[in-house]
């Protein structure tokens, strides 16, 4: 099975605090992999290292069978096929939903091709009915979908979703999970799914990885990993809050 991402002993420290320590894992092409850990466990730091927002102190990141060098910044990695969302959606607030995606598609397509591509992406992300709405007026879950739609305009192979279920009610969460699964199946995009809502991890992830204090703790099928005593112990408090959603 081909890996889209491999991290090999990646580490980074901030002022003496070891945020990520010798962390190694792989993400298989085409899967939705969950990344689980309590607050301050290093999850977002891992995303920032892979995406290029932070540079490694040590270790290696392999993307699509090619080593990613520290000098390759966010823009370079995006062109290679990486994408990421943020916990707070960041669309062009003054533009419509269509314009948000279209302006990005124009970077690599003609006007006609960009328009067609935008329509296809809005349909895939269930936003076609909101095409003419100013993006700042979208409800929160639709703004999160628009974040995904904007990434899809760059034809990504791999997307990191950083707590996209935050602030969503149960029905909004269910709809959002459907969008992610559809993109995975229909477009073949691989996902790293960082989430505190354990029901969401169990529902759509074939595997999950647990980190604690920036170090690898466990991996495997979510239903099996998340009931392990060492995982519960590391995640106590965070898990008790999240599992009630």
Mean pLDDT split into 10-residue runs, the chain, 245 residues: 96 94 97 92 94 97 96 95 88 94 95 97 96 94 94 96 88 94 97 92 96 95 92 66 40
Residue 64: both structure tokens together: 């699509």
Q: Are 192 and 161 in contact (CB under 8 A)?
A: yes
What are the residues whose beta carbons fall under 8 Å from the beta carbon of 40, sequence distance 6 or more? Answer: none
* pLDDT at 146 (0 to 100): 96
Structural domains of the chain in order of their starting residue, each with its CATH number = 3-90+156-242 (3.40.50.300)
pLDDT of residue 164: 86
For 108, residues 6+ apart whose C-beta sits below 8 A from its C-beta are 154, 155
**pLDDT at residue 166, as a whole number:** 83
Q: Which pLDDT score is estimated for 64?
A: 96
| pLDDT of amino acid 39 | 85
pLDDT score of 168? 87
Contact (Cβ atoms closer than 8 angstroms) between residue 194 and residue 187:
no
pLDDT at 134: 96
What pLDDT does residue 54 have?
97
- What pLDDT, on the 0 to 100 scale, is given for residue 236? 58
Say what the pLDDT of residue 245 is. 39
Q: Residue 196: its pLDDT value, please?
A: 84
Cβ-proximal residues to 85 (8 Å cutoff; 6+ apart), any chain = 144, 147, 148, 151, 159, 160, 161, 162, 164
What is the structure's pLDDT at 109?
A: 93
């Amino acid at each position: 099975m081909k890996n889209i991402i491999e991290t090999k002993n990646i580490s980074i420290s901030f002022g003496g605090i070891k945020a990520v320590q010798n962390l190694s894992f792989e993400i298989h092409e085409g899967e939705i992999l969950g990344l689980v850990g309590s607050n301050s466990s290093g999850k977002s730091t891992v995303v920032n290292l892979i995406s290029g927002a932070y540079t490694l102190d040590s270790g290696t990141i392999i993307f699509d069978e090619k080593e990613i060098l520290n000098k390759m910044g966010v823009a370079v990695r995006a062109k290679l096929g990486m994408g990421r969302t943020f916990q707070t959606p960041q669309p062009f607030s003054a533009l419509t939903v269509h314009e948000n995606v279209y302006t990005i598609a124009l970077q690599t397509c003609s006007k006609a091709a960009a328009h067609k591509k935008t329509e296809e992406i809005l349909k895939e992300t269930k936003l076609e009915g909101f095409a003419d709405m100013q993006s700042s007026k979208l409800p929160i879950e639709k703004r999160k979908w628009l974040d995904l739609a904007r990434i899809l305009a760059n034809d990504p192979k791999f997307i990191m979703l950083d707590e996209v279920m935050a602030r969503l009610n149960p029905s909004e969460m269910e709809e959002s999970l459907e969008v992610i699964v559809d993109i995975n199946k229909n477009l073949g995009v691989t996902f790293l799914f960082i989430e505190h809502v354990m029901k969401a991890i169990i529902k759509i992830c074939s595997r999950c990885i647990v980190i604690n204090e920036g170090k690898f703790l466990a991996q495997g099928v979510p239903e099996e990993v998340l009931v392990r005593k060492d995982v519960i112990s590391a995640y106590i408090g965070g898990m008790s809050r999240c599992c009630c959603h």
